[in-house]
Structure 1
Amino acid sequence: MKGSIKQRSEGSYSLIIDLPRDRGEKRKQKWITFRGTKRGAEKELARLLTEMEAGKYVEPSKLTVGRWIDQWIEAGAPGRRRKKVSQRTLERYGQLLRTHVKPVLDNRRLQNLRAPEIDKLYADMADAKLISPRTQHHVHTVFGACLATAHRKGLVAINPMQRVEQIPAPETFDPDEGIDEIGEGLTETELAMLIAGFKPSSIYPIVVLAAATGARRNELLALRWSDLDADKKTLRIERALEQTKKFGIRIKPPKTKRGFRTIDLDDGTIAVLLKAKERHLRLAAGVPDGADVDLALIRLPADALMFPAITVSFTSPRHPRNFSKDFAYRAETLGFGKTRFHDLRGIHSTALLDAGIPVHTVAQRIGDDPAILLRNYTKRKRLKRADQMLSDTIAGLAAGFLNVG
């Protein structure tokens, strides 16, 4: 492949590249305008010829960073693994990029974007301290996936993200303050007191099941009575709630294959669930508490939820975020500070690991990646003193918090 340079005017040159052609075809050329010095034109021509020979040349485009972000989100945020992301995840990606990237780089040409500009974006985010380090890292991860797709599709010759140096850390930890973003664990006695405080509340069975299984909030709120096998003492988890702007609240399969699982339950937790089911059966039949009725003759809808929003249809799911807010408010009034419902998941997995249960077994039980579980466990151990370690197995843990109050 050959090329030549033709000066058009002072400081303006045409780079003329002879393109490959088949035998008998007319001569094909590509003309590219370059503004600068003749020496600069020669260097640019050499670069273009090298890229074309290597098949790395990218046609000039006026596509902006902001427009590419919109296209990427509209296409479903495609990635290298070609795995379709959930609607909720897609909306979160769009929120992160449109809130933190587009206001700064919206009109910047995608092909002209350079690593120092991304470094400055990250530095400004960190200096402003308007979002947590964890969120800053999420911005980096999503923006990186967005630019990687542009590079993979040939929209940019070089992915500038590969040369970024100011990469936000996923989290920060101050050993002097003893806090980070995963929440501090509770001792067995504290956990028992917390759960006992929820006994007067309608969400008591949910809290019990969360502490006894380590299941996610949206998995618990999507459970049906048909998922419980009281005789075998098992619970199937095969769906979860998803809350999105596009679809509202809906039930869908778990995000990953790990989410599909069957887990063992202890006798105390099963007793709490069966008592909740009895209440549903009485409500469905219009039978008051204490009335002597054969509840085996009463049937709930086949898709009746364990923890519905209302006990009229038994199939309307609770609002996930409102549920979390209700839990946090009650936990705080009980004197447990900023304890989150999600903390019960960490407390459960920590208890099992402290008891010597293998990490892969615990990960399978809670539907998590073993590496992620071990990393979070290590962080939690930095927050806890040795005399606060939970050491009982599942049955012992459940027996403790169910017998308090």
Structure 2
Amino acid sequence: MKVTYIERSPGTWRLRIESGVGPDGRRLFKYETLRGTLDDVRRRRFAILNEHDQGTFAEPSKLTFGSFFTQWFDTRLALKKITRSTAENYDKMLRYYLGTIAGRRLQRITAQDIQAIYTAMAKRGDLSQNTLHHVHAIVGAAFRAARRAKIIKVNVMEEIEAPAKQRARPRSLTEAQAAKLLASLEGSWMEPVGVTSTSTAPASMSAASWCSA
């Protein structure tokens, strides 16, 4: 990698980053504008080269979160990693919940931006904790993909605590269901446990107790 710079106007610098050679044999360049002193631009040049050596450099990109998110789930759909209905749900998620960051550059999104989305969703009052947790999981997967592709150098999702999952309420068995379950346990080591549970439980028996038995 080669990084050069030139002062375009007093205090405004343009860095040219040579990042390789394209399929046609031509050199590939990315450009970055910086406002500051000569020392500032020299430090930035050093930082770019250092990040490149460490494998953490992400070339400047104007790619928005919305564009990347759509490309990401379209690719997953093409590779049959997800179904079409799942891809449609991702598209709805982008439009309904992630609109505030959809048009922003992916490289400029912060943990605070994501946290603001979670806060707004929680304040709505009509969304479950599971919905919030699902959004967190999908957005996290998208940012991990962006980091692997070296579009971003830091995954901001690693700075965010996952929203709590909503605990499932235990379902109760009817008397008929309990009787059927006991019949299936007859003669097994679980039969005494089943008899004790059904004899001490009210008219219905919690399915959760069987999970813990």
TM > 0.5 fold call: yes
> Number of paired residues?
188
- Say what the alpha-carbon RMSD is for the aligned residues: 3.7
Could you tell me how far apart the structure 2 residues matched to 1:37 and 1:183 are?
58
The equivalent of 1:35 in structure 2 is 34
Preserved CA contact (<8 Å) 2:32 2:60: no
Secondary structure of the residue aligned to 1:158 is coil
Please give the residue correspondences for 1:6-405 in structure 2 after superposition, counting only pairs within 5 Å: 6-16=6-16, 32-38=31-37, 39-76=39-76, 84-101=81-98, 103-165=99-161, 167-171=162-166, 180=167, 182-189=168-175, 191=177, 355=194, 387-388=201-202, 389=205
Q: Secondary structure at the match of 1:58?
A: coil
1:73 Cα deviation after fit: 1.9
Segments of 4+ in structure 1 off by > 4 A?
Answer: 1-5, 16-21, 28-31, 190-193, 388-391
Gaps of 5+ in 1: 22-27, 172-179, 194-210, 213-264, 267-350, 357-385, 392-405
Tell me if structure 2 keeps the 8 A contact 1:16–1:29. Answer: no
Q: Deviations over 1:150-188 (max 9, x none)?
A: 2112222222211224x31111xxxxxxxx5x3342254
Q: Normalising by the residue count of structure 2, what TM-score does the alignment of the two structures yield?
A: 0.70
CA distance in 1, matches of 2:86, 2:113: 26
For each residue in 1:127-169, what CA deviation from the matched residue of structure 2 results, as whole angstroms up to 9, or x when unmatched? 222310111000000111111112112222222211224x311
- Identical residues among aligned pairs (%): 28
The question of whether the paired residues in 1 share the 8 Å contact of 2:17 and 2:30 is answered with yes
Q: Distance in 1 between matches of 2:95 and 2:15?
A: 38
Change beyond 3 A, Cα 1:141–1:12: same
* Structure (1/2) with the larger helix percentage: 2
Question: What SS does structure 2 have at the residue aligned with 1:46?
Answer: helix
* 1:45-87 Cα distance to aligned partner (Å, 9 max, x none): 2221111222332222221111112112211269xxx872334
Alpha-carbon deviations, 1:79-134, whole Å to 9, x = none? xxx87233443333333333211x21110111211111111111111122231011
Q: TM-score, normalised by structure 1?
A: 0.40
Alignment partners' CA distance in 2, 1:44 and 1:145: 30
Flag the structure with larger Rg.
1
Are residues 37 and 355 of structure 1, via their aligned partners in 2, closer, same or farther at CA, if it must alter by over 3 Å?
A: farther
Cα distance in structure 2, aligned partners of 1:163 and 1:106: 20
Q: 2: distance between equivalents of 1:190 and 1:2? A: 76
Give 3-state SS (helix, strand or coil) of 2:8's partner.
strand
Query: Residues 3 and 49 of structure 1 are in contact (CA less than 8 Å); yes or no, is this contact kept in structure 2?
Result: yes
Deviations 1:239-288 (A, max 9, x none): xxxxxxxxxxxxxxxxxxxxxxxxxx96xxxxxxxxxxxxxxxxxxxxxx
One-letter identity of the residue aligned with 2:175? T
What one-letter code is carried by the residue in structure 1 that aligns with 2:110?
Answer: R
